[in-house]
Amino acid sequence: MSRAHSLVALPLTLGALYSGACDPESHPPADPFAEPEADECDAGEESTQGGEDDVCVVTPLPLGEIVTGDTFFGADSRSAACGGSSAQRDATYAIPHDAGLLTVAVASAHDAVLELRSDCFRARPELCSDVEFEDGIEVVSACVEAGMTFAIVDGNGDAGIEHEFSAGPFSIRATLDPCATGCRADLGACVSEADPGDDCADAAPLALDSTVVTSLAALGDDLSGLACPTPGPGLPDGVFEVQLPTAGELSVRAWDPDFQILPQVAIRPDCADRASEVACSALGSTRACLEPGPYALIVEAEDERELALSTSFRACAGTETCQWGYCLPPLAAEIEPNDDPETAMVVGDGAWVEASFDPSSEIDYYRVTLEPGQTVTASTTRGCDADTVVLLAHGARRPAPTVDSCDDVSPDTQLDCSDDAENTLCSVTSASLPEGGDVFIRVNRHALERDMTEPGRYVLDVEIE
């Protein structure tokens, strides 16, 4: 369900709670997240809280509904605590809720900032999200008591100083998990306590899509060590077991809530066999696409402090199978030769191509045709074992024959370019043609890998909207 927003002032009965005056009695008597360390105003002064309006105008945001808004037509009445949002236009939403884990997400085409507040007039830097603009989605979660939470949708950058206005249409949604097992504010998640097994024989069962708090205290080093790099022998380890009902992508993360240490985590189909490890990380987070069945999750750490452990699972759907560590549909084979625009392989919406760089030419061309106003997205993020650079170029102009990185391409032919995305060597980029026409997709190996003898392989995903 989607609902266009309509601005309303807070009801008169709440006016005493959410006015902008600095009278201590004007602030809410309870903070769903935590008691503020100090009042932002000196007692007795009339203030607009650092330039913010002294009247909180909000849009109701019912739980579970997708509400659309547009900050372009708004005013600068609040300033989010992150993203340098001074002078940017914003919108404020009021979310009534029961106790639990409140999660708010904003999707936008502009560089938005999202902040949650228990008091409309008090910024909460620890509950503010400003991710990279290309990601397009801001998400903030917090443990809350029953009451009201305010969501501030703002723009990134100080308008008029070094940024233009960052405003425009967006959608926002709030959900609440009652957290039957309890909510931990420092983890921002519903959690339960779970003791790991000391060895493979007594592995503790762990539910999928859950977060637990655990400890390796009093456990020994019963396993042979993980296949990924370790600080040294003798680390205590704990064992959990998950059961996958079907083939799918399993992600596991172990971390120290105080961020003092980095636990190590591994996934094994055969708990006692180190050689069977399908995924391992010395940085606490790993993933794999796996067939149905039981899998051991092994956690090692050099300290006996409290740890958090979470799992998430996405089942392969339809014709998808585990390939390249992901649930992917059937892959088409690359049609060679395609080393120049004249021999470009023709692809369309929904194309999935498994390809490799020709040893004699580490450049591959593809061609897609767009209708007026359509946008094409080309991505190698679902599979690449080489450092790929993905370029989109106007089909009516010939791209430069060689590109070492996105800095080397000509703006006369380039529509968009990507070199590394999502903290990987894979890439994703999008472009549109208002008038429609052909677009070349060029995938090449980065210059730093040009002398490598190993073949560079990748999976190209093409989407048209």
DSSP secondary structure code for residue 421 in this structure: B
pLDDT digits (tens, 9 = 90+) for 166-219: 888 999 999 999 998 889 888 888 999 999 999 999 999 999 999 999 999 888
**So what's the pLDDT on residue 44?**
27
Torsion-angle region of 182 (φ positive above 0: left; ψ -120 to 50: alpha; else: beta)? left
DSSP secondary structure code for residue 14 in this structure: H
What is the rounded distance in angstroms from the CA atom of residue 168 to the CA atom of residue 332? 38
What is the rounded distance in angstroms from the CA atom of residue 209 to the CA atom of residue 189? 11
What is the rounded distance in angstroms from the CA atom of residue 123 to the CA atom of residue 119? 8
Q: 36 pLDDT exceeds 80?
A: no
**So what's the pLDDT on residue 165?**
65
b/e burial code for range 5-24 (CB count within 10 A of at least 16 → b): beeeebeeebeebbbbbbee
What is the rounded distance in angstroms from the CA atom of residue 11 to the CA atom of residue 27? 15
pLDDT band at 29 (very low <50, low <70, confident <90, very high): very low
**So what's the pLDDT on residue 231?**
47
pLDDT band at 402 (very low <50, low <70, confident <90, very high): low
The HSE-up count of residue 320 (CA atoms within 13 Å, CB side) is 19
What is the rounded distance in angstroms from the CA atom of residue 148 to the CA atom of residue 439? 49
Is there a contact between 99 and 178 (Cβ–Cβ < 8 Å)?
Answer: yes
Is there a contact between 41 and 20 (Cβ–Cβ < 8 Å)?
Answer: no
pLDDT band at 24 (very low <50, low <70, confident <90, very high): very low
What is the rounded distance in angstroms from the CA atom of residue 151 to the CA atom of residue 387? 39
The SS3 call for residue 404 is: coil
The least confident of 208-212, 232-236, 367-371 is 232-236
Integer CA distances (angstroms), 76 to 10, 85, 158, in order? 18, 9, 11
Place of tokens 């509950």: 127
The least confident of 223-237, 408-422, 438-452 is 223-237
pLDDT digits (tens, 9 = 90+) for 299-352: 998 877 899 999 999 999 999 999 999 999 999 999 999 988 899 999 999 999
Q: 5 pLDDT exceeds 50?
A: no
The least confident of 50-64, 154-168, 378-392, 424-438 is 154-168
Integer CA distances (angstroms), 181 to 44, 100, 239, 254, in order? 43, 10, 21, 19
Q: Give the chain's domains with CATH numbers.
A: 2-180 (2.60.120.380), 191-315 (2.60.120.380), 332-464 (2.60.120.380)
Picking from 275, 276, 297, 300, the residue whose alpha carbon sits closest to that of residue 287 is: 297
The least confident of 91-100, 286-295, 380-389 is 380-389
What is the rounded distance in angstroms from the CA atom of residue 418 to the CA atom of residue 399? 15
**pTM of this prediction?**
0.73
pLDDT band at 33 (very low <50, low <70, confident <90, very high): very low
What is the rounded distance in angstroms from the CA atom of residue 134 to the CA atom of residue 107? 11
**So what's the pLDDT on residue 409?**
60
What is the rounded distance in angstroms from the CA atom of residue 217 to the CA atom of residue 219? 5
Neighbour count for residue 374 (Cβ, 10 Å): 17
Q: What is the mean pLDDT of the chain?
A: 82
Residue 247 CA to chain centroid, in angstroms?
23
Number of H helices, E strands in the chain: 1, 35
Pairing label, strands 183-184, 112-117: unpaired
Residue 281 tokens, joined: 């990380």
How confident is the model over 449-460, as a mean pLDDT?
Answer: 77
pLDDT band at 250 (very low <50, low <70, confident <90, very high): very high
Q: Given strand 345-346, what is the order of strands in its sheet?
A: 345-346, 363-370, 437-445, 388-394, 414-419
Picking from 438, 442, 444, the residue whose alpha carbon sits closest to that of residue 464 is: 438
Q: 19 pLDDT exceeds 50?
A: no
Residue 25 tokens, joined: 């009695």
pLDDT band at 239 (very low <50, low <70, confident <90, very high): very high
